[in-house]
Structure 1
Amino acid sequence: MTETHSSAHIETEELRVAVGPEEPLTLRFAGSADTRALGAIEKVLSVFHDRALVETRKEVFVDFRDLYFINSSCFKAFVVWLGRVQDLEDGRQYRIRFISDDDKPWQRRSLGALQCFAVDLVQIETQAPGVGS
């Protein structure tokens, strides 16, 4: 397995995660995330969170349109991240907008559950892959 990790980047045969160069600040996921990716995803989310705070972002984006699978352990890392944002003082909290692919029913179900966990912080929008990329 070929694998590279940097602070806000993961690239393995199965999974690619990177911060997009454009505005707004967007974390893009592609491929499949299983248990082997858990540590790297936790690190990327932590670095992304820290960057949002340093840059005093009011909103960040997470693009799941090209993510085909994520196991429950990896998905829990997003719950932990949301908890960290909720624990911030009101003026430091930021919204997280997930961009999903409606053709992937698991995204609709999983992101809906995530939104219930942090109603005031999480928004979900649907776009076809390749649109707005």
Structure 2
Amino acid sequence: MPLAVMPNYIPTEREVLRCIYSMYETSFPVEGQGVGKVWVEIDVESVAKKLGCNKHILFGYLYSYLDHKYQYRTGGNAAVHLFAPRAGELRHAINLPYLAAILARQNQEHSKFMWSLGISLVALALSVGAIIAQIVTAR
């Protein structure tokens, strides 16, 4: 699809990670020769198409933002990365076990948020009900 027709949609971090995980979870574990056997090659264009966003924006989001946000040093010059433009022979590689761990944490945070929101809405409904009941009985 030409860029001019692509929607200006920018997916959330959680949407991007969930999409990649669902598309590539069956590619793990990596068999045979692999870079640390945790890297899985992804098709950025296919992921972008599934998310309904621009492939160049998605690549930049993965490389410039998400990888920078989640990489950490393991000592010396070594670091753990989420995304790499090149990992050995692989192009556009994602560290799938690390992505799964990040996604699990985000799902846990999302679940906590939804529970808190639900409880707040129930409390609000009870408060409104109490106000209405008091107005009706005061007449």
| TM-score bracket relative to the smaller structure | under 0.3
Q: TM-score, normalised by structure 2?
A: 0.26
Structure having the higher Rg:
2
Q: TM-score, normalised by structure 1?
A: 0.27
Indicate the structure with greater strand content: 1
